[in-house]
Amino acid sequence: MTEPINVQQEQAIIIGAGPCGLSAALELQAVGIEPLLIEKNAVVHSIYQYPTYMNFFSTAERLEIGGIPFTSPNDKPSRREALQYYRDVALRRKLRIRAYEAATAIVPQPDGSFRVETADRFGGISVYATRFVIVATGYFDHPNMLGIPGEDLPKVTHFFGEAHPYTGMKVAIIGGNNSAVDAAMELLRVGADITVVYRGEEYSSSIKPWVRPLFEGSVKNGQIKMLFSSRVVGIGERTVTVQPEGENTAPYEIENDFVLALTGFRPERTLLTDAGAIVNAETTVPSFHPETMETNVPGLFIAGVIAAGREANEIFIESGRHHGNLIAQRIKELM
Ligand SMILES: Cc1cc2nc3c(=O)[nH]c(=O)nc-3n(C[C@H](O)[C@H](O)[C@H](O)COP(=O)(O)OP(=O)(O)OC[C@H]3O[C@@H](n4cnc5c(N)ncnc54)[C@H](O)[C@@H]3O)c2cc1C
């Protein structure tokens, strides 16, 4: 077969320029390797998709990468500050990022190296050859779908940006963790009629302790309707259908204008499994060495949330940012 296009040779390729991919890039720089990052959107796209006015639960210091100081006048930095920090780090350290280019395949070669195939926005295909690949693709692209009728209606979203579009509207929020609670508190300020539908029997223990009393207070005084032990089982144009748990409970409809389905995200692992990486069928955790982050495929590494199981919240920036150093030390040994 003839070579379709030029194959670009690289020392190491990082797929995903989220905080953990960037951290891995800085750690590789520190051991004398200039990796190429492939990013299908813009740098730190996941953070860009966070709620517009969100503050992190971590302090700025705990979000730092590559030992580069991140300071903020606030207790917890805002999304905007974090976007600026990670963007500046990428630009000032001259990280080589191929933005708006998606990795489509990692193909192991007989000599132990890899070919990484990518596609850009305009259908352009590129092929890279490298000895080391680090997959840091995160989880934010793949919301946990509810699998119910009406989920694809335009009034339904899995991403909450800001409250303004919901001014005075009847909004059903599905979920009971931080994203759902934060959205509900923001919607209060725009006069929305809010119903939170949550399958748990009581408030989630993961709600940020400084937010929980405010949320509980708003439920107690009737500003937010909280339906525990309940699921949305169908979405219509002007209604949602709620099914309470328990025997002999009938589903009922509530009037509704918009649905925020804030039920979390899950990492997508096809790139890894297609390259031969083993993923535990039950836990969905990829097989990797915890001291090096190397998978069962020699030279193929994982960094960040992609290393977590079904419960993606096991790994945060706070912890995933340390994966890069482990990877860089291992690659240095192998060079
Ligand atoms: C609302 C919210 C608040 C949070 N607050 C905190 C906090 O306070 N502290 C904390 O530590 N963590 C927090 N987290 C968690 C944190 O966002 C994640 O842990 C972090 O984003 C994981 O980083 P990552 O680099 O592994 O993945 P991501 O940040 O998800 O980055 C992955 C990147 O890979 C790219 N990508 C995906 N597939 C491909 C492909 N095929 N080809 C090329 N590129 C690809 C994506 O576009 C993305 O840019 C929060 C999460 C949310 C949703």
Over the stretch 43-56, which tens digit does the pLDDT of each residue have? 999 999 999 999 99
* pLDDT on residue 311: 66
Higher pLDDT, 235 or 265: 235
* pLDDT on residue 4: 57
pLDDT tops 70 at residue 312 = no
pLDDT tops 70 at residue 1 = no
Closest CA to 312 of 179, 223, 197: 179
> In this predicted model, what pLDDT tens digit does every residue of 83-117 receive, in sequence order?
999 999 999 999 999 999 999 999 999 999 999 99
User: Quick one: what percent of the chain has pLDDT higher than 70?
Assistant: 98
pLDDT tops 70 at residue 3 = no
Which CATH architecture describes the domain 7-142+265-334? 3-Layer(bba) Sandwich (3.50)
* Mutational test site, ligand 1, from 126, 140, 301, max ligand atoms within 8 Å of CB: 140
Q: What is the rounded (10 degree) CA torsion for 235, 237, 238, 243? A: -10
Question: How far is the centre of ligand 1, averaged over its atoms, from the C-alpha of 47 (Å)?
Answer: 7
CATH topology of domain 156-261: FAD/NAD(P)-binding domain (3.50.50)
Q: Which of 67-76, 261-270, 305-314 has the lowest mean pLDDT?
A: 305-314
Closest CA to 184 of 163, 205, 203, 199: 163
* pLDDT on residue 267: 86
Shortest-distance atom of ligand 1 to CA 319: 11
* Mutational test site, ligand 1, from 23, 27, 137, max ligand atoms within 8 Å of CB: 137
Question: How far is the centre of ligand 1, averaged over its atoms, from the C-alpha of 317 (Å)?
Answer: 8
pLDDT tops 80 at residue 5 = no
Mean pLDDT of the chain: 95
Sign of CA dihedral 62, 63, 66, 71: negative
Question: How far is the centre of ligand 1, averaged over its atoms, from the C-alpha of 253 (Å)?
Answer: 36
Is the CB of residue 127 less than 8 Å from the CB of residue 107? no
- Please give the single-letter amino acid code of residue 13: I
Delimiting residues of CATH 3.50.50.60 domain(s) in the chain: 7-142+265-334, 156-261
- Could you tell me which residues are beta bridge partners of residue 286? 279
Count CA atoms within 13 Å of residue 172 on its CB side: 27
* pLDDT on residue 247: 86
> In this predicted model, what pLDDT tens digit does every residue of 163-200 receive, in sequence order?
999 999 999 999 999 999 999 999 999 999 999 999 99
Pocket of ligand 1 (CB under 6 A): 15-21, 38-41, 45-46, 50, 54, 56-58, 102-103, 136-141, 179, 271, 304-305, 316-318, 320
